[in-house]
């Protein structure tokens, strides 16, 4: 049996005046105000500022185009971060990444860097672990917010954080992993 | 002495404050130039886009409220009569060649299967003729409506893009919207070849090609128009493993030999050699064409995956015909009992906005002493395991579920996903090793409980 072609009419524009676009814009701009913060966190988690910038912007565009749904979420910021992370991971998987953590700091920065030893240890963390560390210690997200932002269970956040800290401590000459 | 936590805060803040300025980092993005076939052009241009979107907010918002279509005065399409097309085509056969498409090549490739590599693509059609003649002949062989035409031809990065479209002018003000899309072509010494065809609104990026020749995943569409999928030998005959080799009954053309239905549509076909992967929108006749040649995953891809730090098991993928398609694009199977160690494979065919599935495979060994294995797939709303009946009109996102919910796969029971994110398998005490096949090891967690 041949399927019938689905009728899909272009929606009419009735009711446009009922949409309060100014409120919607304000809410989106509130989200957009967090963009730089999210970008910096993602850049550190991924080790790739260029990719992070692209991914955050892509996520912002997606958030905007479906803002009627996203704004109802508990944490649109977390949604954007999660989408950006997914987008970036997809791109990372397909490219040879240039990890900023693999790059030595500029000479003038070395003198000022607060903790080069820790920086080296962070550079050796897998992206999974680094993402959790960045969410907790840079974004200052709670376990629940980190779970939401990374799209993983809270238990996984705790596990990864614990393992990341243990690994860092080991690299810094502390407890064994 | 500072605690580790304090040191982390200080170091991360310092690093964040000393990131390079954004205007200097975009050129570092290693995507667009290197391998256009694998790039995600959706990442392009975003700051400007966001800024423009904010400025254009009322227009975009109103458009979104009306289904996202910018073609307000258009009429509903009707089924074309393939052999009786008399009205005036909208598309022209004198295509515009001005280079105004931007990264259209990347956008087209982005909609093609995840393993598609434009640089190594097997052509789906070739002809000793000019680009327009070759393109139009190709569309004719794929049985598109007679009034299909080319509206633009442009060369980008050594490839030729030809935009196809069909539709009719109903009167001076109304257009019957047909289908449209793009052909990716390449010149040869004597003519042109078609490397891929894409249909606007048909997303094949969730389709993957596995190392052992499986074509798996979900076809996503921005409409609920019926879709037919075919996996064909190069001579146009269905591959041996085609589930429905006779195609759809009473149809004028062979279609739907691999899958047929409303999107999102699961696909699972194994091929033993080069093949054509073809997707048509169907409504009384074939309305559109998306098509690529299928080849093996390249060694380069696997090297890239390994360089990214994924844990790759180099053992060959076990052959199986036991894949089971579940609603929403998640496919799971218990496969062969190799060496007395059956393997559990989980493949997630994700939906937007999660990244496309890949061919990298993570093997997560589970101790023999484990009595329960729970495979957690985070964020199922983006993994599409809530059931196709819950997809929204765009067919992209699930409307139910939440980020905190998990797909929990226990060994111990066998069933199927219904409308929840639960998949259970039948108990088999012989299980000693379980494997998870997923896109990336880090997005699937495996928990297990050891035997007390």
- pLDDT tens across the length of chain A (177 residues): 323 222 222 222 233 333 345 556 677 888 888 888 899 999 898 888 888 888 888 888 878 877 777 777 777 888 888 888 777 766 664 454 455 666 666 545 555 777 888 888 888 887 778 888 999 999 989 888 888 787 777 777 777 788 788 888 888 886 544
- Chain A residue numbers with beta carbons less than 8 Å from the beta carbon of B57 are 21, 24-25, 28
Q: Say if residue B171 is in the same domain as residue B312.
A: no
Q: What is the CA radius of gyration of chain B?
A: 24
**Which residues in chain B land under pLDDT 70?**
1-2, 21-103, 114-115, 168-177, 206, 208-214, 217, 295-452
Q: Do A61 and B53 touch (CB under 8 A)?
A: yes
Q: What is the pLDDT of residue B288?
A: 95
Kindly state the tokens that stand for B154. 């442009």
- Domain spans of chain A? 22-171
User: What is the signed CA dihedral for B278, B281, B285, B286, rounded to 10 degrees?
Assistant: -40
Kindly state the tokens that stand for B425. 């398998």
Q: Closest-CA residue in chain A for B44?
A: A54
What kind and span of H or E run contains B331? strand B330-334
Q: Closest-CA residue in chain B for A56?
A: B46
Final residue of a structural domain among B276, B297, B318 = B297
Q: Say if residue B55 is in the same domain as residue B103.
A: no
Q: Say if residue B169 is in the same domain as residue B142.
A: yes
Q: What is the pLDDT of residue B115?
A: 64
Taken as a whole, chain A contains a residue count of 177
Can you give the pTM of this predicted structure?
0.41
Q: Closest-CA residue in chain B for A108?
A: B18
For residue B1, being part of any structural domain is answered with: no
Q: Do B378 and A156 touch (CB under 8 A)?
A: yes
Q: Say if residue B269 is in the same domain as residue B392.
A: no
What kind and span of H or E run contains B291? strand B290-294
Report yes or no: A118 and B328 within 8 Å, Cβ to Cβ.
no
Report yes or no: A43 and A100 within 8 Å, Cβ to Cβ.
yes
Q: Say if residue B123 is in the same domain as residue B140.
A: yes
For residue B30, being part of any structural domain is answered with: yes
Q: Say if residue B331 is in the same domain as residue B425.
A: yes
The DSSP code sequence of B138-189 is HHHHTT--TT-EEEEEEEETTEEEEEEEEEEE-SSS-EEEEEEEEEEEEE-S
Q: Do A60 and B46 touch (CB under 8 A)?
A: yes
Burial A37-68 (b: 16+ CB within 10 A, else e): ebbbbbbbbbbbbbbbbbbbbbbbbbbbebbe
Report yes or no: B150 and B91 within 8 Å, Cβ to Cβ.
yes
Q: How far apart are CA B411 and CA B446, in angstroms?
A: 12
Q: Say if residue B58 is in the same domain as residue B142.
A: no
Task: Identify which of A55, A119, A138 has the shortest CB distance to residue B13.
Answer: A138
- Chain B residue numbers with beta carbons less than 8 Å from the beta carbon of A160 are none
Q: Do A94 and B71 touch (CB under 8 A)?
A: no
Interface check B273 vs A, CB under 8 A: no
Q: What is the ipTM of this complex?
A: 0.76
Q: Say if residue B274 is in the same domain as residue B338.
A: no
Q: Which domain holds residue B31?
A: 16-72
**Number of other residues whose CB lies within 10 A of the CB of residue B84:** 7
The DSSP code sequence of B380-406 is GGGTT-S-GGGB-TTSSSBSS--TT-E
Kindly state the tokens that stand for A101. 């953590």
Burial B246-260 (b: 16+ CB within 10 A, else e): ebbeebebbbbbbbb
Q: What is the pLDDT of residue A172?
A: 85
E runs forming strands in B170-282? 175-187, 192-199, 202-203, 208-209, 214-221, 227-232, 259-261, 265-270, 275-281
Backbone angles phi, psi at A35, to 5 degrees: -55, -50
CATH fold of A22-171 reads Arc Repressor Mutant, subunit A (1.10.10)
Q: Say if residue B207 is in the same domain as residue B339.
A: no
Beta-bridged to residue B232, according to DSSP, are B238, B276
Angle between helices B4-17 and A154-171 (to 10 degrees): 90
Q: Say if residue B55 is in the same domain as residue B155.
A: no
- Chain A residue numbers with beta carbons less than 8 Å from the beta carbon of B13 are 138
Report the Cα–Cα distance between both ends of chain B, in Å, rounded. 42
Q: How far apart are CA B242 and CA A152, in angstroms?
A: 37
Q: Name the DSSP letter for residue B296.
A: P
Best interface-test mutation with B: which of A8, A17, A85, A134 has the largest number of B CBs within 10 A?
Answer: A8
For residue B189, being part of any structural domain is answered with: yes
**Number of other residues whose CB lies within 10 A of the CB of residue B73:** 8
Q: In terms of DSSP bridges, do strands B159-169 and B149-156 run parallel, antiparallel, or are they unpaired? A: antiparallel
Q: What is the pLDDT of residue B29?
A: 30
Q: How far apart are CA B304 and CA A94, in angstroms?
A: 7
pLDDT in tens, B308-353: 333 333 333 333 222 222 222 233 333 322 223 333 333 333 222 2
Handedness of CA B228, B139, B170, B175 (dihedral sign): positive
Interface check B166 vs A, CB under 8 A: no
Q: How many helices (DSSP H) and strands (DSSP E) are in chain B?
A: 7, 20
Q: Say if residue B146 is in the same domain as residue B164.
A: yes
| Number of domains, chain B | 3
What kind and span of H or E run contains A58? helix A49-65
Q: Name the DSSP letter for residue B373.
A: E
pLDDT in tens, B229-267: 999 987 788 998 888 898 888 787 889 999 888 877 777
Q: How far apart are CA B359 and CA B38, in angstroms?
A: 13
Which residue matches tokens 């052959």? B319
**Residue A20 burial by CB count (10 A; 0-12/13-18/19+): exposed, middle or buried?**
exposed
Q: Say if residue B308 is in the same domain as residue B288.
A: no
- Chain A residue numbers with beta carbons less than 8 Å from the beta carbon of B310 are 93
Task: Identify which of B19, B29, B226 has the shortest CB distance to residue A54.
Answer: B29
């Amino acid at each position: 049996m041949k399927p019938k072609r689905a009728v899909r009419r272009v929606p009419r524009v009735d009711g446009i005046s009922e949409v309060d676009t100014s409120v919607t814009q304000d809410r989106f701009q509130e989200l957009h105000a967090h963009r730089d913060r999210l970008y910096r966190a993602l850049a550190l988690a991924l080790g790739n500022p260029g990719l992070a910038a692209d991914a955050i912007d892509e996520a912002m565009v997606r958030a905007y185009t479906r803002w009627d749904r996203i704004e109802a979420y508990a944490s649109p910021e977390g949604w954007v971060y999660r989408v950006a992370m997914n987008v970036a991971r997809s791109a990372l998987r397909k490219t040879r990444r240039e990890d900023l953590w693999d790059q030595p700091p500029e000479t003038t920065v070395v003198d000022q860097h607060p903790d080069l030893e820790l920086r080296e240890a962070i550079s050796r963390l897998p992206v999974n672990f680094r993402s959790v560390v960045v969410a907790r210690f840079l974004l200052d997200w709670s376990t629940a917010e980190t779970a939401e932002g990374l799209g993983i269970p809270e238990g996984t956040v705790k596990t990864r954080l614990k393992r990341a800290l243990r690994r860092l401590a080991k690299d810094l000459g502390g407890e064994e992993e | 002495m500072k605690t580790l936590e304090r040191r982390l805060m200080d170091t991360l803040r310092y690093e964040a404050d000393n990131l390079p300025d954004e205007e200097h980092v975009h050129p570092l993005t290693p995507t667009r130039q290197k391998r256009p076939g694998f790039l995600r052009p959706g990442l392009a241009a975003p700051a400007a886009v966001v800024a423009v979107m904010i400025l254009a907010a009322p227009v975009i918002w109103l458009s979104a409220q009306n289904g996202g279509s910018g073609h307000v005065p258009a009429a509903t399409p009707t089924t074309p009569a393939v052999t009786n097309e008399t009205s005036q085509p909208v598309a022209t056969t004198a295509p515009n060649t001005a280079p105004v498409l931007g990264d259209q090549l990347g956008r087209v490739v982005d909609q093609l299967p995840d393993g598609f590599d434009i640089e190594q693509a097997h052509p789906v059609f070739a002809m000793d003729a000019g680009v327009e003649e070759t393109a139009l002949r190709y569309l004719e062989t794929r049985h598109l409506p007679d009034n299909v035409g080319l509206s633009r031809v442009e060369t980008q990065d050594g490839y030729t893009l030809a935009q196809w479209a069909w539709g009719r002018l109903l009167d001076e003000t109304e257009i019957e919207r047909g289908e449209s899309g793009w052909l990716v072509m390449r010149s040869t010494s004597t003519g042109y070849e078609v490397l891929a065809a894409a249909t606007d609104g048909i997303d094949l990026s969730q389709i993957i090609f596995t190392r052992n020749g499986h074509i798996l995943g979900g076809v996503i569409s921005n409409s609920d128009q019926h879709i037919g999928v075919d996996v064909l030998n190069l001579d146009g005959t269905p591959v041996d493993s085609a589930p429905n080799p006779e195609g759809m009954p009473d149809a004028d053309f062979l279609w739907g030999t691999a899958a047929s239905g409303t999107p999102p549509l699961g696909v699972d076909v194994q091929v033993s050699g080069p093949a054509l992967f073809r997707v048509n929108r169907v409504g009384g006749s074939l309305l559109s064409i998306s098509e690529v040649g299928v080849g093996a995953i390249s060694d380069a891809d696997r090297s890239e995956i390994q360089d990214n730090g994924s844990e790759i098991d180099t053992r060959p993928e076990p052959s199986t015909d036991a894949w089971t398609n579940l609603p929403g694009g998640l496919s799971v199977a218990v496969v062969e009992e190799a060496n007395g160690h059956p393997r559990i494979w989980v493949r997630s065919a994700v939906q937007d906005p999660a990244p496309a599935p890949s061919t990298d495979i993570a093997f997560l060994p589970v101790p023999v002493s484990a009595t329960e294995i729970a495979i957690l797939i985070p964020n199922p709303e983006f993994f599409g395991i809530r059931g196709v009946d819950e997809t929204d009109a765009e067919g992209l996102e699930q409307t139910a579920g939440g980020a905190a919910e998990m797909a929990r796969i226990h060994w111990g029971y066998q069933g199927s996903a219904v409308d929840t994110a639960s998949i259970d398998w039948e108990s088999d005490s012989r299980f000693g090793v379980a494997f998870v096949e997923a896109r990336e090891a880090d997005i699937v967690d495996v928990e297990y409980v050891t035997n007390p």
